Amino acid sequence: MFDTLSDRITGSFKNLRSKGRLTASDVEQTIGEIRRALLDADVALPVVRSFTAAVREQATGALASQALNPGQQVVRIVNDELVEILGGQTRDLNMADTPPTVIMLAGLQGAGKTTLAGKLGLWLRERDHKVLLVASDLQRPNAVQQLEVVGTRADVDVWAPEPGNGVGDPVDVARTGVDFARTNGYDVVVVDTAGRLGVDQEMMQQAIDIRDAVHPNETLFVVDAMIGQDAVATANAFQDGVGFTGVVISKLDGDTRGGAALSVRGVTGKPILFASNGEKLEDFERFHADRMASRILDMGDIMTLIEQAERTWDEEQQAELASKMAGGDFTLTDFIDQLHQLKRMGSMKKIMGMMPGMGQYRDALEAFDESSVDRIEAIVNSMTPAERDDPKILNGSRRLRIAHGSGTTVQEINAFIDRFMQARKFMVQASRGGGVPGMPGMPSMPGAAGSRKAKRAKKKTSGNKKGRSGNPAKRARQAAEAAAQENLSSQQKRGSAFGAGAEQQNKEIDQASMEELQRFLR
């Protein structure tokens, strides 16, 4: 989602962070890189011009204030302008004072309206609405059957009196569907209309007739995120013809540029209400401009992550789990329960992509194999309850049986159990205040900034070691100094009466544990 745009914009900030004071030329260089990034993302030219002009105006004023780090100020300005261009404040659906609320979907053929009707129906049903889907797309082959299938999966009712495939009057179907909803207690009606091939005047007139027949409270324009700034011409045509009150971005998971989202909102002025970012019915979410701007700038989307966790994770279960972690009673049964809840939140790649700073690990995330999670689940499911509660009883024969049952090897079983045991040690340490790797002032995870500095310092120290001299007297003196240094080091490693050596040993053990935890989480 916005991968290319995110990489280009965040890359333009690298030079700013290394400077204590910015000049006008620094700002212009950054704005130029942002302009090229937006154009490469296929954002409409008027939107690019207005965006860069606003950033330039505010950034020029920020150079004089110097209230914050100037680089941080520019990032903040770009973030604020992205929020503005994406829609600013999130708007709720316009619900009718007297049910039912009628929502009409319009857009080009292939934009994903029928599937989105099911996603919207599921989203509304989960919020305690009684939803009826109306199959008014009678032109596309099997469109009615597709809506019925989608409705069944979403557990919402479908009004489909006509078979479709060119048979039936779509305007009459829409009108009778709303009447049926009104008399049977449905409070939301979602009308699926036929898609247009380009700007087809006949089909556009059909959409206008459906609009006039049902008087929708919301007319949502569904736009394919993959078409870039071509969405502008389409949106203007629909705005002039049918007219719409909001935009839904579909297929956002396949968009690496982002031009459609930025262009449609910037040109039409209509808010983006929802975003579809996957093939599953659950891959549907409210569009929050501030959160999307944070994703583009690689600052994560913690709020969406929290909301997903609140919907899937049980608070009492988590409190019990925290107690087990603190006491070291975390078992493989608890582990698999947590894995199931994590899978209910969605794709691992999407979850990790919402974390701040994950843009630098995008290649690793893309290479992540989701099936590896299923292999771990198969390993645990092949164990007996006693083996899950106490992995220490897993001898050679038990591990061979588990390998055969899970379709893995004994080596994989051994590696998994070792990583789990090390991870459990880490959980106990973290829950008891032992520190979290990678956090400031705490033991650092291998690969974090702290460990990289230590490696560089070690390398520098080893590089300062002098070679043996050709002078026998000087060589003897060097050997004596090296022996004295080695003796001092060995004493320090053994430790003093105050436990300095024990602290060093604990750090070495913790470092080894962190390395094992890192391998476990890969």
pLDDT of 503? 43
Residue by residue, DSSP assigns 253-297 as GG-SS-HHHHHHHHHH-PPEEEEE-SSSTT-EEE--HHHHHHHHT
Short-list 367, 360, 255, CA closest to 298: 360
How far apart CA 387 and CA 284 sit, in angstroms, is 39
Q: What one-character DSSP code corresponds to residue 441?
A: T
List where CATH 1.20.120.140 sits in the chain: 3-85
CATH tag, 3-85: 1.20.120.140
The whole-angstrom separation of Cα 158 and Cα 133 is 5
Structure confidence at residue 467 (pLDDT): 52
Per the CB < 8 A criterion, the answer to whether 164 and 145 are in contact is: yes
Burial class (CB in 10 A: 0-12, 13-18, 19+), 316: exposed
Compute how many other C-beta atoms are within 10 angstroms of the C-beta atom of residue 261.
30
Could you tell me if 191 and 105 are in contact, meaning their C-beta atoms sit under 8 angstroms apart?
yes
Which of the 8 DSSP states describes residue 359? G
At residue 106, φ and ψ (nearest 5 deg) are -140, 155
| 3 state DSSP class of 191 | strand
Contact between residue 188 and residue 132 where contact means Cβ atoms under 8 Å apart: yes
Give 133's strand partners.
158, 190
What count of other Cβ atoms lies within 10 Å of the Cβ of residue 460?
9
Q: What class has domain 101-299?
A: alpha beta
What is the Cα–Cα distance from 163 to 144, expressed in whole angstroms? 7
Within the chain, what is the greatest distance between any pair of CA atoms?
A: 107
Question: Does residue 353 contact residue 302 with C-beta atoms inside 8 Å?
Answer: no
Identity of residue 394: L
Contact present, 138 and 166 (Cβ < 8 Å): yes
Low-confidence residues of the chain, pLDDT below 50?
435-466, 491-509, 517, 520-521
Query: Residue for token digits 């061979």?
Result: 400
pLDDT for 511: 55
d(CA 440, CA 248): 41
Helix or strand or coil: residue 223? Answer: strand
> Which CATH topology does 309-431 take?
434 Repressor (Amino-terminal Domain) (1.10.260)
3-state helix, strand, coil in the chain (%, to 5): 60, 10, 30
**CA distance readout (Å), 64 to 23, 81, 127, 506:** 10, 20, 49, 50
Listed in order, the ranges of the chain carrying CATH 1.10.260.30 are 309-431
Beta bridge partners of 107: 222
Give phi and psi for 191, each to the nearest 5: -100, 115
3 state SS for 83-148? HHHCCCCCCCCCCCCCCCEEEEEEEECCCCHHHHHHHHHHHHHCCCCCEEEEECCCCCCCHHHHHH
For 124, other C-beta atoms within 10 Å of its C-beta total 20
* 336 CB-near residues (< 8 Å, 6+ apart): 377, 380, 381, 388
At 329, which helix (H) or strand (E)?
Answer: none
pLDDT digits (tens, 9 = 90+) for 190-200: 999 988 765 56
CA distance 230 to 382: 52
Nearest Cα to Cα of residue 238 among 191, 192, 201:
201
- Residue 91 pLDDT: 82
pTM: 0.63
Gap between the Cα atoms of 61 and 76, Å rounded: 13
The answer, yes or no, to whether the previous bond of 100 is cis (omega within 30 of 0) is yes
Separation of alpha carbons 436 and 431, rounded Å:
9
Sheet of 272-276: strand order equals: 157-159, 131-135, 188-192, 101-107, 218-224, 246-250, 272-276, 284-286
Could you give the CA distance from residue 158 to residue 132 in angstroms, rounded to a whole number?
A: 6
The amino acid present at 379, given as its one-letter code, is: I
pLDDT on residue 354: 67
